[in-house]
């Protein structure tokens, strides 16, 4: 049991009003500190670098009495189903994975959204095979964009800490009730030490209240007990098609309804520095940190450059991006993956796509020197649109 009796408080109170103390910790430790205060009932773990350490530390929290049940599942597909089963029973859950684990588990993610499960999961992003790699890469994020989950991307350990804690209150809203994925770049954030302001140890989030679920919790306490009649799956008729179609639309609508709740915690979906500059660097995750340094270097050389940090990928920051880039003449999008999914996303949101320089892209585990971004800013290195 924890040494002190933890006082349950609202997410707003915990994140905005509680006294904060600055500590020098790794990203994985920031996960532990967030989950220590998240009042999680069940966590299920499966090892994969660079996620493993986070879930070891979550396991320590279980041993200390902060979490009520915890175990190592048999593989990520099973883990995501175990977490789903626990969420269906009406308890608060947490898990984490990355890269190959994400892909192994994939069928579960749209199932979570479709079942309206308020699961919070963290992805410590990593490259995927082949060839085998354990290095940082955000390729999995591009593949998860259409699974129905809300997607937040942390730039650093502070973001990671705050985003995990806020996610429960977004996911668990009656009007939302879909999963939230908190993404963070593996190694770059999980395995480096940073200053993180964390709240005092004597508070925790209020518990999850399953009676607020928009779909019946599977506990035989919540009517109706017969909630479907006729298996619409196998029927070839208009009512069946319409039932499935409207259900999917409702999942998308749930993500839209999350907007004000996400904004209440994050302030905005995107943050912009030097909004009037004709050149804008647009990024998410640690590419933002590299972009910020590149902007500083370019400005030293007399170039007018701004920075757009994207914090929320789903629901899509369409209006925010359109506004931030309305006057930009050149848009540089550095990414930690080979597919350029972020550039594709941005291109789908704004007019005049010839403004986009879709790079630099680094992958395979390489770092992204700010000089490379500066080269693209200057147009010395040409990248695709």
Partner 1 sequence: MSLEITRMNPHFADVMPQEYTDLVENGPFGRDFGARDLGSFKELFEEHPMCAGCNLSLAFRIIVASLPNPADTIMVGSTGCNSIAFPQLALHNVHSLFGNQNAIASGLKRGLALRFPDKVKDVVVVAGDGATADIGLDMTLHSWFRGEKFATVMFDNEIYANTGGQESGMTECGEIRNMAPTGKKFNKISVANLAIEAGCAYVAVVTTASPLKISKCFEKAVLVAREIGPTYVQIYTPCPTNLKLKSSESVSLAKERSKGTYQFREHVSPEAEEFLAARAEKTEEQVRVTSKDEEMHSA
Report the interface residues with partner 1, using CB under 8 A. Answer: 41-42, 44, 68-69, 71, 73-75, 77-79, 81-91, 93, 107-108, 111, 115, 210, 216, 218-223, 225-226, 228-234
Residue closer to partner 1 by CB (options 206, 303) is: 206
Minimum gap (Å) between residue 168 Cβ and partner 1: 16
Residue closer to partner 1 by CB (options 250, 371) is: 250
Minimum gap (Å) between residue 226 Cβ and partner 1: 4
Residue closer to partner 1 by CB (options 82, 320) is: 82
Residue closer to partner 1 by CB (options 223, 351) is: 223
Residue closer to partner 1 by CB (options 108, 272) is: 108
d(CA 240, CA 149): 24
Residue closer to partner 1 by CB (options 58, 284) is: 58
Minimum gap (Å) between residue 146 Cβ and partner 1: 18
Minimum gap (Å) between residue 364 Cβ and partner 1: 31
Minimum gap (Å) between residue 43 Cβ and partner 1: 11
DSSP-assigned letter for residue 361? B
> Whose structure tokens read 């009003």?
17
Minimum gap (Å) between residue 191 Cβ and partner 1: 29
Minimum gap (Å) between residue 14 Cβ and partner 1: 22
- List residues bridging with 310 in a β-sheet: 270
> Whose structure tokens read 């350490």?
53
DSSP-assigned letter for residue 219? S
Q: 247 by DSSP, 3-state: which?
A: helix
**75, 197, 313, 344 from 385: Cα distances, Å:** 39, 39, 20, 9
Spell out where the chain has E strands. Answer: 7-9, 20-26, 42-45, 69-72, 93-97, 120-125, 150-153, 180-185, 193-199, 203-205, 270-273, 279-283, 305-310, 312-314, 330-332, 356-357
- Which among 189, 136, 151, 98 is positioned nearest to 345, based on CA atoms? 151
Structure tokens at 281: 């660097």
d(CA 33, CA 25): 10
Residue closer to partner 1 by CB (options 112, 336) is: 112
CB–CB of 177/118 below 8 Å? yes
């Amino acid at each position: 049991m924890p040494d002190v009796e933890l006082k349950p408080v609202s997410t707003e109170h915990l994140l905005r009003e509680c006294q904060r103390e600055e500590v020098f910790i790794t990203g994985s430790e920031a996960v532990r500190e967030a989950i220590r205060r998240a009042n999680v009932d069940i966590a299920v773990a499966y090892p994969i670098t660079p996620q493993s350490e986070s879930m070891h530390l979550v396991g320590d929290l279980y041993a200390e009495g902060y979490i009520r049940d915890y175990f190592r599942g048999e593989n990520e597909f099973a883990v995501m189903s175990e977490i789903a089963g626990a969420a269906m029973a009406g308890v608060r859950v947490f898990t984490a994975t990355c890269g190959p684990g994400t892909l192994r588990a994939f069928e579960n993610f749209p199932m979570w959204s479709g079942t309206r499960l308020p699961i919070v999961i963290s992805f410590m992003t990593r490259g995927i095979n082949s060839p085998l790699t354990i290095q940082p890469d955000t390729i999995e994020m591009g593949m998860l964009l259409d699974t129905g989950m809300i997607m937040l991307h942390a730039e650093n350990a502070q973001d990671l800490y705050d985003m995990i804690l806020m996610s429960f209150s977004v996911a668990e809203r009656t009007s939302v009730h879909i999963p939230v994925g908190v993404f963070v770049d593996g190694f770059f954030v999980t395995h480096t030490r940073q200053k993180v302001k964390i709240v005092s140890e004597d508070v925790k989030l209020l518990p999850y209240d399953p009676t607020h679920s928009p779909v019946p919790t599977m506990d035989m306490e919540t009517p109706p007990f017969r909630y479907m009649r006729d298996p619409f799956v196998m029927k070839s008729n208009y009512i069946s098609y319409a039932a499935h179609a409207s259900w999917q639309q409702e999942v998308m609508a749930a993500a839209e309804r999350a907007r004000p709740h996400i904004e209440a915690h994050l302030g905005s979906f995107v943050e912009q520095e030097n909004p009037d500059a004709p050149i804008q660097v647009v990024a998410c995750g640690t590419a933002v940190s590299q972009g910020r340094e590149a902007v500083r270097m370019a400005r030293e050389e007399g170039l007018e450059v701004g920075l757009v940090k994207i914090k929320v990928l789903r629901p899509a920051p369409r209006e925010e991006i359109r506004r931030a880039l309305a006057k930009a003449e050149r848009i540089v999008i550095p990414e930690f993956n080979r597919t350029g999914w972020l550039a594709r996303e941005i291109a789908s949101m704004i007019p005049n796509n010839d403004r986009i320089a879709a790079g630099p892209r680094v992958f395979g585990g390489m770092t992204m020197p700010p000089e490379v971004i500066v080269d693209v800013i200057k147009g010395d290195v040409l990248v695709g649109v």
